[in-house]
Amino acid sequence: MKTGILALLIVTVIISTKAYSQTVINGSFEDNLATDCLWNNPNSTFNSLMSDCFAFGPGEEVDIQKGTCGYAIPAKGEWFISLASNIGSPDQVALKLSSPLIAGNGYHLTFSQKADTNFTVYDSLLIGVSDEEISFGIQIYSVQPVVQTGWTETAFDFIAPLSGQYITFGNKGERRGWNFIDNVQIMFINGMGEIYNNQAITIYPNPFSVETILQSNQVLKNAEVTLYNSSGQVIKQISNISGQSVSIQRDKLPGGLYFIQLTQNGILFATEKLVIID
């Protein structure tokens, strides 16, 4: 009997570990069929050459580069990619994970980035989570790459807004330029909501049935609250928030579990779960 229980516990631990241990399958872009530098690739060409990384943006100019191309030495391995940014038509890519994220769980993402030194201006680089390879999904972070010869390693924690199997990268599309990406890695941190406890936001009451108040210990300016259902769909947005609190009305939303994200200047400030009861 004890042997049976022990075996069951071991199986449970193995299954749980597999569920939480996602990896970016081709995060350093080494698994590709390119033999030399390939610039300005249409999405179909890029997708036929690069494994487990899919170009889908309107820009259609994703580069596959290596150290001998003359633009940068890869942050890791032999290859990296670069995303073009044209005003209104930026490049976007989706990197496949070994298994889907679990909505509400915490993760740590790291990647290397830099802006092309041939441009004096540069565009913001957006990061998202998606459940399909042809859409950006839900934005979780943004960074402003700096024009420099070396790479900058960027790292941040986030709560998965949906059970997506793709981490997406895309330029914002406000300026002309190129952003380079390499060595994308992800790590599971912990369960629902714990990593953002230090952000000092409170939602009360929660659960609620008619109205709840989101309170921040920092003064917000032009912030935005986005409410997602458990499938990752945007249900409600409140923009131009200033001050330290905002009222969230239920309106006609059905009871259930939701996720609320607070962003300011395109940067994810906090994520919490929200429960509506009848």
Is the pTM higher than 0.85?
no
Q: Which amino acid, 228?
A: Y
Say what the pLDDT of residue 190 is. 65
What's the rounded Cα separation, in Å, for the pair 30 and 78? 7
What's the rounded Cα separation, in Å, for the pair 268 and 247? 19
The answer to whether 92 touches 141, Cβ cutoff 8 Å, is no
Domain ranges of the chain: 16-190, 200-276
What's the rounded Cα separation, in Å, for the pair 181 and 134? 19
Reduced to 3 DSSP states, what percent helix, strand and coil does the chain have, rounded to the nearest 5?
15, 50, 40
Say what the pLDDT of residue 160 is. 86
Say what the pLDDT of residue 200 is. 63
Give me the residue label for tokens 């670069």. Answer: 82
Dihedral sign from CA coordinates of 254, 255, 259, 263:
positive
Dihedral sign from CA coordinates of 122, 123, 129, 134:
negative
Say what the pLDDT of residue 120 is. 66
How many other C-beta atoms can be found within 10 angstroms of the C-beta atom of residue 169? 23
Q: What is the pairing mode between strands 62-66 and 38-41?
A: antiparallel
Tokens representing residue 201 in the block: 């936001």
Domain pair 16-190 / 200-276, same fold: no
Say what the pLDDT of residue 191 is. 54
Say what the pLDDT of residue 192 is. 46
Distance from chain centroid for Cα 151: 20
Q: Phi and psi for 266 in degrees, rounded to 5?
A: 80, 5
The answer to whether 211 touches 248, Cβ cutoff 8 Å, is yes
Say what the pLDDT of residue 199 is. 52
Of the candidates 221, 200, 218, 211, the one whose C-alpha atom is nearest the C-alpha of residue 248 is 211
CATH class of 200-276: mainly beta
pLDDT tens for the chain, 278 residues: list them.
Answer: 444 433 333 333 333 434 456 899 999 999 999 999 999 999 999 999 999 999 999 999 999 999 999 999 999 999 999 999 989 999 999 999 999 998 878 888 999 999 987 776 678 999 999 999 999 988 888 898 888 778 999 988 888 888 899 999 999 998 888 999 999 999 887 654 444 444 568 899 999 999 999 998 889 888 999 888 765 677 899 999 999 999 999 999 999 988 888 887 766 677 788 999 98
**Chosen CATH of 16-190 out of 3.30.1330.20, 2.60.120.260, 1.10.10.2160, 3.40.50.720:** 2.60.120.260
Q: What is the largest CA-CA distance in the chain?
A: 70
